């Protein structure tokens, strides 16, 4: 039992008794955390390796979100049933998936295509929309931000647990940005050439690594951003 290749994603449910793992074999395995006993296996519909997992915010932890190198985000049931169509589709790899702390049906994903996307899964799953959907549901397009790189990627993100209107992101620009989702709206691409993305409410760059506030510096990548449980501190890790 177990995965047949590298494991890229791990996530606990809220009570901590279940652990989900995602792998290059495109499967999600559900484990009993205390005993390491395998409880179930999900054969997802992803066409690439799994990069991110998140238990859906239902009372019994019956469902789990997964995102993949193929740019898709799927909702699967822990009994092994996977939805037929993705809820979100990016142009490039989908690297992380989150759920809204106050709205259990709202799911967000970030991608190497430079976007953060947000969907109410009730509407998306019930709409039967056709097409690839890769131009829809864009909350933030980092490639349109002032002073951002045209090749900007969003590698990591987190939602403030106590102020869920705040979302922070990091990527290959070496800047941690914080956005107020109340100032944003979900859009479809392409936008008009004159349109500009809403600016971040805060930007941070580590001075000791050669950065300046709000300025990009080369050679450093934000690998992870996380709020603490009280939402008062934000931890970011950088590679050098």
Q: Chain-wide mean pLDDT for the chain?
A: 86
**Residue 144 pLDDT more than 80?**
yes
What are the extents of the domains in the chain?
1-82, 87-240
Please say whether the beta carbons of 213 and 205 come within 8 A.
yes
Q: Is 18 exposed, middle or buried (0-12, 13-18, 19+ CB in 10 A)?
A: buried
Q: How many other C-beta atoms lie within 10 A of the C-beta of residue 177? A: 25
In terms of residues, how long is the chain? Answer: 240
Segment 145-165 mean pLDDT: 90
In this structure, the dihedral spanned by the alpha carbons of residues 65, 69, 71 and 74, taken in order and rounded to 10 degrees, is: -20
CATH fold of 1-82: Thrombin, subunit H (2.40.10)
Is the bond preceding 190 in cis, omega lying within 30 degrees of 0? yes
Residue 55 vs residue 136, higher pLDDT: 55
Under the banding of pLDDT at 50, 70 and 90, the label for residue 156 is very high
Sign of CA dihedral 57, 131, 155, 76: positive
**Averaged over 83-93, what is the pLDDT?**
90
Q: How far apart are CA 29 and CA 8, in angstroms?
A: 12
Q: Looking at the structure, give the CATH architecture of the domain made up of residues 87-240.
A: 7 Propeller (2.130)
Element (H, E) at 1: none
Residue 124's H or E segment, with its range, is helix 121-127
Whether 20 and 28 have beta carbons less than 8 Å apart is answered as yes
Query: What is the rounded distance in angstroms from the CA atom of residue 177 to the CA atom of residue 181?
Result: 12
Q: Burial, 185: exposed, middle or buried (Cβ in 10 Å; 0-12, 13-18, 19+)?
A: exposed
Give the sign of the dihedral formed by CA 94, CA 97, CA 100, CA 104. Answer: positive
Q: What is the pLDDT of residues 165-217, one digit of tens each?
A: 999 999 998 899 999 999 998 887 665 555 666 789 999 987 766 555 445 45
Average pLDDT, integer, range 70-80: 90
Residue 208 confidence (pLDDT): 65
Q: pLDDT band at residue 52, thresholds of 50, 70 and 90?
A: very high
pLDDT tens sequence across 93-133: 999 999 999 888 999 999 999 999 999 988 765 444 544 55
Q: Which residues, including other chains, have CB under 8 Å from residue 212's CB and lie 6 or more apart? A: 205
Summarize the confidence of residues 41-46 as an average pLDDT.
Answer: 92
When comparing pLDDT for 77 and 197, which is higher?
77
In degrees and rounded to multiples of 5, residue 64 shows phi and psi of -145, 140
For the chain, the farthest-separated pair of C-alpha atoms sits apart, in whole angstroms, at: 57
> Can you read off the two tokens belonging to residue 88?
């979100």
Q: What percent of the chain has pLDDT over 70?
A: 85
């Amino acid at each position: 039992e177990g995965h047949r290749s590298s494991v890229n994603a791990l996530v606990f449910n809220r009570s901590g008794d279940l652990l989900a793992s995602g792998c290059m074999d495109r499967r999600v395995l559900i484990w009993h955390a205390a005993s390491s006993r395998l409880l179930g296996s999900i054969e997802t519909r992803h066409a690439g390796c799994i990069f991110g997992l998140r238990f859906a915010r239902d009372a019994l932890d019956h469902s789990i979100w997964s995102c993949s190198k193929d740019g898709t985000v799927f909702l699967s049931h822990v009994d092994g049933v996977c939805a037929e169509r993705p809820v979100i589709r990016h142009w490039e790899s989908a690297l992380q998936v989150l759920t809204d702390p106050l709205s259990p049906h709202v799911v967000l994903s970030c991608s190497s295509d430079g976007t953060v996307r947000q969907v109410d899964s009730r509407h998306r799953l019930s709409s039967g929309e056709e097409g690839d959907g890769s131009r829809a549901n864009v909350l933030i397009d980092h490639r349109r931000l002032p002073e951002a790189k045209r090749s900007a990627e969003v590698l990591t993100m987190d939602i403030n647990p106590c102020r869920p209107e705040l979302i922070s992101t990091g990527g290959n620009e070496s800047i941690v940005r914080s956005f107020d989702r109340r100032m944003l709206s979900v859009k479809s691409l392409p936008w008009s050439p004159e349109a500009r993305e809403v600016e971040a409410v805060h930007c941070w760059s580590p001075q000791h690594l050669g950065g300046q506030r709000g300025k990009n510096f080369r050679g450093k990548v934000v690998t992870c951003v996380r709020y603490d449980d009280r939402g008062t501190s934000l931890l970011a890790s950088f590679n050098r």
